[in-house]
Structures are given as structure tokens and as C-alpha cells.
Chain A
């Protein structure tokens, strides 16, 4: 029961110490909800765990192994959804999703993922015609691609994933996360509260980064 373990993590952006001494542990089958005001370092923490940002101090481990020892293996176990939607307006919904699935070496069978996020009827529509919420659904559908395969990434890092989603889509996202946790996956989610947090009640622990802000 090890999953993700973080100890003594410091984050510095420019000259500002964003947070210091953050420690957390997320076991397989559990989620961690990060909360805190704007600028408290939720996104930075996710980016550090993803390996997109170097920590100023501290250690990160997966299944007890130091993440820094094998960065490539760590990248393979991550599904990271940031603030932005990596969706190309010139490609159709289907082409967008298929590109990322193939690039990540996942099953390019993407119809089930489109169904899971309720955008199957938009499959052949160029993404330039999508609303902000539909673009977000398309971004999140990447999580569902390969979710049930043994090669699916076990660590989901989601930065305010419910932004711009209607209640129905939030429920779809919650179902995807719960299915991931049922598969012994781990999820770390930056959140400002709301329906997603409610849906994950009982499956998630909480960490308020305000407590770690100097």
C-alpha cells in the first residue's frame, strides 16, 4: 500500500517560496484533493509530481522508489491534465483524441472514451466548433483511453479538471475517476470544491496547501 509519497517538498517560483515542507501519501485506490487559495501552489505541486517543474527541496517516491531515479518510467505512469486544453481546432474531435492516444502508445480505439464523456456525436466535427465545455470533455476523454488496459497510467494528476463543465459532465468525470480508483489507480486533483469533491467523498483525502504557505 504505497502509491505516491512526497516528503519535505519545497517550491520556489522566481524569488518567492510558494510552499514549504509539504508531505503527502496517496495509497492505491485513493484520491487526494488539493485545496487552497489562488497562488497557494496547487498547480505547481501537480507539475512537480509530473516532473514538469523541479522541486526546490524534498523527495517524491512511487511504490517506495525515488521518482528522480527513473524519470522516463515515471512519465509512463502519469496522465496529466493541466489548465489548458491541448485540442487543435484544425483537427476533428476523433483525430485530436487519436493523436494523443497513439503518441502515448495507448489503444487507438477511442469510441468508448468519446461515449464515456458524451461527445460521441461530435466525433467528426472539427474542434474549432466546440464550446469551451466540449473542449474540456475532449481533453478529459484522454483519461478514458486505455483506462482499462494494463498499460493505462496509474497516476492521474488533474488540475481543476471540472472547470467549464456542466453538472452532467462533472458526473461523467467523477465516474471515470471512481473507475480509476477501483482499478487501484491513484489520483491527485487540484480543486476549489463543488460537485466533483462531493462525488469523491469517501474515496479522497484532503490537503489544504494554505497550511504549507509561508
Chain B
């Protein structure tokens, strides 16, 4: 466990000192979400109707932006080989990298989401459901994304490959995440939808670190 915390701490330090990947994801999130009202017009009836879906789609794309760098720096500078030889099991290495990715991307998206909710004129009743759905959904995006990032390590055009691998797997999270916000706006019950999102998270948590670790071991051979 000490190794897990060490690795998370190191990645957080690197992210906050380097800054570009994390900042890029949030800036993209806000900019891309801002473009939609310019395209469809500032109709106050339409914006809240599409707001939940747009915020989720853009969050999903923003989370994907930094996936390519999740393991590639460690792969290129030989750190990954040293992780394999270290006493820290590769499953925990993968988990540490995933947690660090979520903390530097998902959490920032969570913080920025209410700003966009205001921008899309979402009613106050949708704010908490939006944040809770993202709290459950964004870690799932990091977990699934890690598998794609590890599988494409060392490949040419890995960014495009990651998108092709990961985007179809993101669809269930997108559907249920957007449904939670729509349900909250329409005054419908959305507790079951959050439970499904929680189920996705648990499923991804149970499988993704192992799959990622296996792909990482394969990549260094």
C-alpha cells in the first residue's frame, strides 16, 4: 500500500508541476461545451434539454484527451520496467496510475461541471444529480480508458487507437449519466440510474486494474 500511495503522490506532483495535461482537459471541457450554444442558438428552452447530454459527452472526450499520456512517459523513460521489477504488484501500479489520472482529470471536470450547468441554464434541482452522476461515472472512464491506454502502448497513432477501443465502452456510462440529469430536470426518479452507474464503477474496478496490468506486462516484452 505504501508503494501505491508513493506512486499516486509522484504522479500528482508531476501533474501539478507540469500542468499541461490536466489543464488541457478542463479547458477543452469548458471550451467544447461552450461551442454548442453558439451552434444551436441561445434558446433557453433548448439549452436545459440538451445540457445534461452535452456536458456528459464533452466530459467523456475531455477525459480521453490525457489517456495517451497515462503510461507512455513511464514506458518511454524505462520507469515501467522498473515498476515490473519493484515489489509493488503491477495491479497496484495500474490502480495507482488510474487513481492519479482520475484525481488530475475527473475531479477537475467535476469542479467545472456546475459552471457549465449554469451556462446551460439547468435548474437547481439538476446540479446535485449531475455532480453525483459524474462522481460515479468519471472514475469508470479512467478505469476503462486505462485498458485502452495500456493496450496501445508503443503503437503508432495510439491516440486514435485508444479512441476506437474505448469510445464504444464509454457509451453505457454516457447513456446513464445523461439520463440521470434528464430525470432530475423532468422530476423523475433517478436513484436506480445512479445505482446502475455505481454498478458500472464496481465492475470496472474489479476488472480494469488486472486487464491493464496484463497489457502493461505485454507491452514491455
Residues of A at the B interface (CB closer than 8 Å) are: 50-54, 72, 75-76, 78, 80, 82-88, 90-91, 95, 99-100, 102-105
A76 touches B87 (CB 8 A): yes
Chain B interface residue number, banded: 20 to 34
Interface pair B76/A84, CB less than 8 Å apart: yes
Q: How far is the CA of A53 from the CA of B218 in the complex (A)?
A: 10
> Any chain A CB within 8 A of the CB of B195?
no
The 8 Å CB contact of B14, one of A53, A72, A85, A91, is A91
Query: How far apart sit A103 and B2, CA to CA, in the bound complex (Å)?
Result: 8
A90 adjacent to B82 (CB under 8 Å) = no
Kindly specify which of B3-11, B37-45, B50-58 makes contact with the partner chain. Answer: B3-11
B85 within 8 A of A: yes
- Scan B154-178; emit 1 where CB is below 8 A from any A CB, else 0: 0000000000000000000000000
Tell me whether B87 and A99 are in contact (CB under 8 A): no
**Residue B111 lies at the interface, judged by CB distance under 8 Å to chain A:** no
**Does B86 belong to the interface (CB within 8 Å)?**
yes
Chain B residues contacting A86 (CB-CB under 8 Å) are 74, 77-79, 81-82
Contact with A along B1-37 (1 / 0, CB 8 A): 0110011001001100110000000000000000000
Q: How near does chain B come to A184, taking the closest CB pair, in angstroms? A: 21
A50-B81 Cα distance, complex, nearest whole Å: 10
Interface residues of B, dominant DSSP: helix
Q: Is the CB of A52 within 8 A of B221?
A: yes
Known: A85-B77, A103-B6. A53 touches B221 (CB 8 A): yes
Q: Are B221 and A80 in contact (CB under 8 A)?
A: no
Bound complex: CA A78 to CA B84 (Å): 11
What 7 A-B pairs are tightest by C-beta distance, nearest first? A84-B78, A86-B79, A90-B17, A90-B14, A86-B78, A82-B78, A90-B18
Contact at A82–B81, with CB atoms within 8 Å? yes
- The answer on a CB contact under 8 Å between A104 and B77 is no
The answer to whether residues A84 and B85 also contact, given A90-B17, A91-B10, A103-B6 and a CB cut-off of 8 A, is: no
B78 contacts across to A, CB distance below 8 A: 82-86
Give the complex CA separation of A90 and B79 in angstroms: 14
Does B220 sit at the interface, judged by CB under 8 A?
yes
22 A-B pairs within 8 Å (CB atoms) are namely A51-B84, A51-B85, A52-B84, A53-B221, A75-B86, A76-B87, A80-B81, A80-B85, A82-B78, A82-B81, A84-B78, A86-B74, A86-B79, A86-B81, A88-B79, A90-B14, A91-B10, A91-B14, A99-B10, A103-B3, A103-B6, A103-B87
* 4 further interface pairs, Cβ-Cβ under 8 Å (given A52-B81, A88-B77, A102-B6): A51-B84, A72-B87, A84-B78, A87-B77
B84 touches A99 (CB 8 A): no
| Contact residues in A for B88 (Cβ distance below 8 Å) | 103
Chain A residues, Cβ within 8 Å of B81: 52, 80, 82, 86
For B10, give the chain A residue with the smallest CB separation.
A99
| Distance of B21 from chain A, by nearest CB (Å) | 11
Smallest beta-carbon distance B204→chain A, Å? 26
Are A80's CB and B10's CB within 8 A?
no
On whether the beta carbons of A88 and B14 are closer than 8 Å, the reply is yes
A126 nearest CB neighbor, chain B only: B17
Residues of A close to B6: CB separation below 8 A:
99, 102-103
